[in-house]
Structure 1
C-alpha cells in the first residue's frame, strides 16, 4: 500500500511540473499527431499511385534535361 501511495504522489508531482512548465514550450502531442497523420497521408497517396507518380517525375525530368 505504501508503494501505491508513493507512486500516486510521484505521478501527481510529475503532472504538476508538466502543467506548470514553460508557456512557450508548445503542444508536443499535437505536433506528433500532425507528423504521424502527414506520414500516413503520404503513404496513402504513394502506395496506390506509385507507378503514376514515378512516371510523371521521370517524364518531367526527361522534359527538362532534353530541352523541352
Structure 2
C-alpha cells in the first residue's frame, strides 16, 4: 500500500513540475488577449455608446 501511495505522489509531483515551465508562453497569450480586447473595444465603443444613449433616451422619455 505504501509503494502505491509513493508512486502516486511521485507521478503527481512529476506532472505538476512539467506544467510549471512555459511562463513566456502564458505571458504572450495574456498580452495577445489584452491587445485583441483593446482593438475590438476601439471599434465597438462608438456602437456601444450609441446603443447605450438610445436606451437611456427611451427610458428617460418614457412617461
TM more than 0.5? no
TM-score (norm 1): 0.42
Q: Which has the higher helix share?
A: 2
Question: Which structure's relative contact order is higher, taking Cα pairs within 8 Å and 6+ residues apart?
Answer: 1
TM-score (norm 2): 0.45
